[in-house]
With several copies, the nearest count.
Chain A
Amino acid sequence: MYGDDSMNNNSTPDAVGRVATPATRAIGLLAIATMAWVVVSGLFLTPEDAIQGDAVRIMYVHVPTAWVAYLAFIVTGGASLCWLVKKTPTLILDRVAGASAEIGVLFMAMTLISGSLWGRLTWGTYWVWDPRLTTTAFLFVTYVGYLAVRGLGGSPHQRAQRSAIIASLAVLEIPLVHFSVVLWRSLHQSASVLRPNGDIKMDGLMLFTLFSGVIAFSLTFLWLVMHRQRLLTLRDVIEEKGLEAAIRERKDGT
């Protein structure tokens, strides 16, 4: 359907050129730098945990990815709400929402993986039916669903409308995940909830590393979203071209 002219037309290539701007380059470099520091400090400088040993180092990935995933989903929700409130003709908000959700799903997956690996080391199993774990899993599925809705097709406007509504409902799940621990602990008398915060002695460096981890992942998030958003813009441009071609084809045909 997409005629070749749509691929090598004059607007697309320099649009590709524009995907990377000084701003994104700077952010990218910053992200890499901080990430490097987290790796070094996380793996070598920070002390190993009394009980957990080296396993504790997973925290520097696990926690930041979790929190940044939250951030991503909140950004998605925010952008979606804005779009719903004042229907801007441009779909920039919609694309930001989409891009942010994609990265969020990515990070949530990292949380799940790092978490279950950590669990293997500390609890001896990859998975426990802990409320935090379960709710996290559902949050993950929710946003996979959100992305599926984005993939439904239809006009870009339709896509924006649908996904924005789903997103503004989905974001409400985050508090559920966050407070799941509290909720359950206060209710569920059988101590099925394992929160190891207590037995991690957070010394200064560990805390600093943890938070530089948060910063590093946040920067990475920002960097990826900016790129992704621009790529989505380009994809819409290409689809436009494809549509033009299709229309021309149908006009010529018959």
Chain B
Amino acid sequence: MNTASVVEMRDAVVVYGDFPALAGVTLSVVGGEILLLQGANGAGKSTILRACAGLVPIVRGTAEVLGTDLRIDRKSVRHRVGLLGHSNGLFSDLTVRQNVTFWAQLVGAGEEEINDALDRMGMAGRLADERVGALSAGQKRRCSLANLVIRRAELWLLDEPHAGLDGRGRDELDSILRQAVTAGATVMIASHEIERSRNLATRTVLVSGGRIKEVS
């Protein structure tokens, strides 16, 4: 387990249009942590995660992820980061397997990873050949998680990963994350499932008004 700093933000500011969604976030995450971002709706949790994934530019302050300075280069870090956003990023006209295979081919994962991911998320069998458009909300979420699992990312960014999943799905997810961490990955979770997430997390920070308020 490496304890090098994986995410290092200093007064980072992110704006949407002219609204500062992040108004100076200072946050540092070290390797092997499972960090829980907790906070009210609109506090800025998703934005922090998207910033760490290099999806939104940092306009003030500094931000380093996995050793690269996001102010200079937001791209080279991406293939080492895995993001599960509010949306699933699925192609509804393709089957579950076709969706996962597509991502697998892009990131160079093989058959067994695909099958493994699918039945870890309980999407093997009949469901694997079902059109994604014909899935229930939770099944879609599971498919999206399968896409994430095959990424084998070093930094996992999860935006409300438990939402929509049933009890077994949640337990499965938690064990997947714990394994990922033991395998050397780092995890950041934004969630409103306080109890469950707290059990999972090694540390919790409170996001409020686009800033990190208190670190418990």
Contacts and interface: CB of A to CB of B under 8 A. Distances in A.
Interface of A: prevailing SS: helix
Given A153-B17, A243-B15, A251 B23 contact: yes
Interface string B1-35: 00000000000010101111001100000000000
Given A157-B57, A158-B57, A250 B17 contact: no
B54 interface: no
A196 interface: no
Given A155-B15, A243-B15, A250 B59 contact: no
Contact of A247 (B17, B20, B57, B208): B20
Given A155-B15, A157-B57, A247-B13, A253 B209 contact: yes
B82 interface: no
Nearest to A153: B17
Nearest to A161: B57
A254 B211 CA distance: 10
Nearest to A2: B18
A250 B11 CA distance: 13
B209 A243 contact: no
A1 interface: yes
Contacts of B59: 155, 243
Contacts of A155: 15, 57, 59
A1 B18 contact: yes
19 contacts: A155-B15, A155-B59, A158-B57, A242-B18, A243-B15, A243-B18, A243-B20, A243-B59, A243-B60, A246-B15, A246-B20, A250-B20, A250-B23, A250-B210, A251-B23, A251-B24, A251-B209, A251-B210, A251-B211
Interface of A: 1, 153-155, 157-158, 239, 242-243, 246-247, 250-251, 253-254
